[in-house]
Amino acid sequence: MRISTSHLLNNMMEGVTKQLSHLNKLSQDAATGKRIRRPSNDPVAASRSLALRALKSGLNQHKNNVADSRDWLLATETALMNLNGLFEQANDLVLDAANQTRSDKDKEAFVQELDRIIEEAVAVLNTRHDDRFIFGGLATTVKPFSFESGEADEFGKIIYHGADDSTGRKEIEVEPGMIMQVNINGKSAFMTSIEGAGGRSITEALIDIRNHVAQPYSSPTFHDDLADDIDSIVAIQDHILNHVTGVGAKVRNLARVSDKLSQNEVELASLLSKAEDADIAETIVELQLQHTVYMAILYSTSDIMKTSLLDYLR
């Protein structure tokens, strides 16, 4: 079969073009370190890469959730310890006030100090983390607690404005299938009665302590009220420390989850590398080999393309 010169030249140019395209791909593999830059490079590997990247995205979200939850819990723990410290101060003042050697004038200073403690307690209950109130349930943009002054001889009371317990649970998925409540609802923790506190909540007991200390020494119930308040403070501090213990357990659990997620991240990175990355040493060797082939094709093609009609007439 006779092969025309044009057909021969077209085949040679097609070979040069294919080899140049192969060289270009190898050059890009070596330059980027990736053998898959588009699905057409390897459809099966590209599909696996997309699945792995979806897993990595979910893992990153869980890592962010763990970090946010840990910071939230640590802020909660600090606030609870501050509140416990305020009740420790109140206990010292009650013991001092119960001392019959004190005068009513001395007791006025105790009352002023308890007024300060109540003010600080409201501030602690309105603690914010990342500009969100931590004890307001899901109503994190609304200040959950305020002090409302009473009328006439009444001192006042602490009011709750946040979400109730049924709608105030801040729950976060910290790993696949594991959802953790990371907040303490202010209504259930501080506004409901505590066993051992005379049927009073934390906020009610704090107001009563102040009012009982404000009574004159001549009041027939003065010492009995203060004795009950001392017992109530013990129960309240136990209640607060129980919450602190629960928060600490969750922080330790999050540390375990964080370690697990970090390990999973390393494994995913390894799988992604196997699916997408080029073997640089192998790619460079192949690049050099194909460059030699390309130069050989160019040399042979240029030799053939020099052929003219005179070569056939010799």
Residues of the chain with pLDDT under 70: 1-16, 19-46, 100-102, 152-153, 165-168, 275-287, 289-291, 293-294, 296-314
Place of tokens 């209640």: 239
Vertex 141 angle, CA 137 and 147, to 5°? 80
Contact at 8 Å (CB) between 115 and 210?
yes
The pLDDT value recorded for residue 36 is: 62
Q: What is the pLDDT of residue 132?
A: 92
Q: Any bridge partners for residue 132, and if so which?
A: 129
Number of C-alpha atoms within 13 angstroms, CB side, residue 189? 28
Tokens coding 241: 């420390």
Q: In sequence order, which residues have a C-beta less than 8 Å from that of residue 141 and are 6 or more positions away?
A: 132, 133
Residue 65: per-residue pLDDT? 92
Distance separating alpha carbons of residues 301 and 296, to the nearest angstrom: 8
pLDDT for the residue numbered 25: 66
List phi, psi (to 5°) of 160: -105, 135
Q: Is 92:116 a contact under the CB 8 Å cutoff? A: no
The residue among 83, 79, 159 whose CA lies nearest residue 121 is 83
pLDDT at 306: 60
